[in-house]
Structure 1
């Protein structure tokens, strides 16, 4: 098993949600892609597995598919992570909610960022209804994680893609925003946005795993070592744990097999996430 070469590794894309909601998400993924899951969903068991794998800190990302559910879920995540030494709790919101109130309440209670799963939630990053939520995020100098790309099963969704993201970025050019899954399948366009915008980040989740070809029909070697080195201060490690249909080691082993300097590895596995979170 490939081991992390540095300490204080951050996994910038982990999902922590109530058991019933997690089971529903897994059932939907199984129905859509035939995936099977055997990683634990209990927080203590998740953290034990992550720390055994070398992860010292992780973002706890929730999301909801319907309006009216975000406030309760945010409260659950914040309470579930209150005594954790490892979790950084995020909040979520639905565009049909009172978004300003939901996000403000979550941040006041301890949330550190905002997560939107756009194709599942059914709206784009530039949906004008989200404006008040982004204003709260900007005022708190907090980060946002967006599933803004078309992978792994959203190529026909009108809510994702680089054009919708660019529209968001034009309105909120100063918010630190992470595009999940390296922006696949429009990865080159998203890489260029990261080159041109210091506030745009990408996470490696799923796309840079050693089994990406099998599970999302993407070849991670199309992203060169030079590109990873060039953008190491904008690219951060993430896993989608525990909702991955393969062993956790698969998420990191391809990245660790690359010819990357220790400094680049430190960026990707730790420092870039800290910068994204505002801890630099």
Structure 2
């Protein structure tokens, strides 16, 4: 995202949670770190915290993404925008999906203002990623929670949808939703880091190995890098230390992301 927006996000998280961010946010140094870790592609996930900025933000992300073979660009929209226009423009320009940071945008997954966006996601075969869980500091937010996410899934069962951060702090309920819906995904961002306990009250061992093995085709690695207050290595350290089957790791770190993007 644009440096000014990244700085604002990091500043808000610092003020709210005291987090520090040691990683560069410029694309070139960020990509050097990712390539050194063996990453082939990563998703750019913008979100619009207020109306009337999504169109410009999407254009910026798509233009910058065109400069790199590594970037899979997503787009965003705010509920008070002309939703259909903004989303159609972004999809036509090459956006591979939509990102919603529900508590910050004050948009629940089942907000009816977003219906045109979901209808276009179905029409264009695009994916949707939500911060739809209550972690790390949104337990009181009315815009998140498994009920709001499940209501969206019930209305749009054929749209590929991911809840970030394993659905924490409602991970058990989100795993149930995943088990019952073939187009629901979860990602491991932040929640499965070996350092997560330094930043929020969650122990990744609460999620058993069996969950990853049973649902390997719909749980995928994510890191939130570079907007994390811990090392990038810690995002995968705990997962690699679980001694999961090789085919589970192949799904977790590669194949499931392709399924989510509609490439398999």
Question: What TM-score, normalized by structure 2, do the two folds share?
Answer: 0.99
Q: Compute the displacement of 1:42 (Å).
A: 0.9
Paired with 1:240 and 1:277, the residues of 2 have a C-alpha distance of 17
Deviations 1:241-270 (A, max 9, x none): 110001100100000000201100000000
Could you say which residue in structure 1 is the equivalent of 2:104?
120
Counterpart for residue 279 of structure 1: 263
> When the two structures are superposed, what TM-score results if normalisation uses the length of structure 1?
0.93
1:66 has 2:50 as partner: yes
Residue 39 of structure 2 corresponds to which residue in structure 1? 55
Q: Distance in 2 between matches of 1:44 and 1:32?
A: 29
Aligned to 2:233: 249
**Of residues 73, 77, 81 in structure 2, which corresponds to 1:89?**
73
Residue aligning to 1:258 = 242
Tell me by how many angstroms 1:83 deviates: 2.4
Q: Deviations over 1:200-248 (max 9, x none)?
A: 0000000101012221211101111111100111100000111000110
Aligned to 2:194: 210
Q: Secondary structure at the match of 1:216?
A: coil
Separation in 2 of the partners of 1:23 and 1:185? 26
Which of 131, 153, 161 is equivalent to 2:145?
161
Superposition RMSD in Å? 0.7
Q: Kindly indicate whether residue 18 of structure 2 is the aligned counterpart of residue 46 of structure 1.
A: no
Provide the residue aligned with 1:135 in structure 2: 119
What stretches of structure 1 move > 4 A for 4+ residues in a row? Answer: none
> How far is 1:166 from its partner?
1.1
- Distance in 1, matches of 2:135 and 2:103, equals 10
Q: How does 1:174-253 map to 2 (within 5 A)?
A: 174-253=158-237
| 1:79 and 2:63 correspond | yes
Structure 1 distance, partners of 2:151, 2:245, is 35
Deviation at 1:112, TM superposition (A): 0.6
Q: Give 1:33 shift.
A: 0.4
Match for residue 5 of structure 1? none
Deviations 1:53-77 (A, max 9, x none): 1111101100111000000000000
Unaligned runs of 5+ in 2: none
Q: Matches of 2:30 and 2:162 in 1, distance apart?
A: 23
Cα distance in 1 between the residues matched to 2:98 and 2:37:
26
